[in-house]
Amino acid sequence: MADIIRSGNIKRIICLCGAGISVAAGIPDFRTKGTGLYDNLEKYNLPSPESVFDIEYFRENPKPFICLAKELLPGTYKPTTTHYFLKLLQDKGILLRVYTQNIDGLEFSAGLREDKVIQCHGGFQSSHCVDCNEPQDNDRIRADIIAGQETICDVCGGLCKPAITFFGERLSPRFYRTRAADFTRLSIKCCHKDCEEETTLLPDNSRGVFCDKHTSDAASLGVANTSISPSPASLSPGERINESDDISCACDLLLVLGTSLCVAPVSGLVDDVHWLVPRVLMNREAVHLYSGDKDDWSQWPPKIGPDNGFRFNCDDNYRDVLCQMDCDDACRNLCALIGWENELDELVKNEEGSPGHA
């Protein structure tokens, strides 16, 4: 992975993050046994731990959420090495996007630009009434959360909450719009030596490795064993999909950091990248593993099952990499291998002590 990044062929990295990247900042994740937030909600007598983010439950009893929100309010915590690693990718100009499920805003505290970050599950940047949708004064909600009390809508008397996505709510239009652009399957050049033709369109609308003319050669070339070459960096720039989002091309490397990948639709992003795009999981545990029927590589074009998942331990794995360790260590190790360790250290050191914002 370090080699292909150092080679300069990787230009559009998507990072998919979860609560694990903020654990080193002192914010517990959700599902780790013992320390995770969901194991520590007994005092609220919730029907299930997830009820704390359930919109129907919130209407009945907003107290558990308010308590949890108080713990997660931005401004209280400092970014981790992993957050600065994301900033380093931005500085290097090879970060296409960060899709974070976190609501702590630490990506912004680390200096990531608004346009680079999709807060898939929203955040504290705005608030509204859950009944009439009336936007609410954010400072007022914030003060109420700190005081541990609910905020009542002036217009209809309904309950108000920050723009955090609850179970049962749709993700933001920006999430869907950006996903459509970032995960587009672009055309790529044929990987036959010296051929500049576009590759063949496969039945599932993804792209093959060779053009029509060279496709018949492919089986004999042993494409099934190509590891992660041909480089997905041979993707050519696609069209602009949404002017305001300044998106011109799709992903050529997916990094998944600190998430159990058990909440849809975010978990599905892992399987949305093109099947030639390398995927790296940096997490304490191996998650989202492939379990369905094997793909069929005996025919050409090969048949890739729609049910993907990581294939770390499969014989036919050619692009999935597992770094099973704390993500701060994984990021530091990767930087050391690429030769970016000092730059990472500088970021961590320079911005240490700078106050967080969201």
Residues 282, 151: contact at Cβ < 8 Å? no
Establish if 59 lies at the interface with Zn ion (CB under 5 A).
Answer: no
Establish if 158 lies at the interface with Zn ion (CB under 5 A).
Answer: yes
Determine the Cα–Cα distance for residues 243 and 221; give it in Å rounded to an integer: 41
User: Among residues 183, 336, 357, which one has the least CA distance to residue 271?
Assistant: 183
Least distance between Zn ion and beta carbon 159 (Å): 8
Which of these is catalytic: 121, 192, 214, 288? 121
Could you give the string, one character per residue 112-131, with x where binding to ligand OAD holds by CB under 6 A and - elsewhere? ---------x----------
Looking from the CA of 208 toward its CB, the CA atoms found within 13 Å total 26
Determine the Cα–Cα distance for residues 305 and 227; give it in Å rounded to an integer: 18
121 as an active site residue: the answer is yes
Establish if 162 lies at the interface with ligand OAD (CB under 6 A).
Answer: no
Establish if 18 lies at the interface with ligand OAD (CB under 6 A).
Answer: yes
The per-residue DSSP string of 65-91 comes to: HHHHHHHH-TTS----HHHHHHHHHHH
Looking from the CA of 137 toward its CB, the CA atoms found within 13 Å total 8
Strands 117-119, 95-100: pairing kind: parallel
User: Among residues 358, 335, 356, 330, which one has the least CA distance to residue 345?
Assistant: 335
Residues 263, 278: contact at Cβ < 8 Å? no
The window from 153-161, 247-255, 259-267, 349-357 that contacts ligand OAD (CB under 6 A) reads: 259-267
Among 11, 16, 29, 252, binds ligand OAD (CB under 6 A): 29
Which 8-state DSSP code applies to residue 240? -
Establish if 152 lies at the interface with Zn ion (CB under 5 A).
Answer: no
Residue 127 binds: one of ligand OAD, Zn ion, none (C-beta under 5 to 8 A by kind): none
Among 10, 181, 223, 287, binds ligand OAD (CB under 6 A): 287
Among 132, 180, 286, 325, binds Zn ion (CB under 5 A): 132
| Cβ closest to Zn ion, residue 153 vs residue 221 | 153
Establish if 286 lies at the interface with Zn ion (CB under 5 A).
Answer: no
Establish if 57 lies at the interface with ligand OAD (CB under 6 A).
Answer: no
Active site residues: 121
- Residues lying near ligand OAD in the complex (CB under 6 A) are found at 18-20, 23-24, 29-32, 36, 53, 101, 103, 121, 165, 258-260, 262-263, 283-285, 287, 326-327
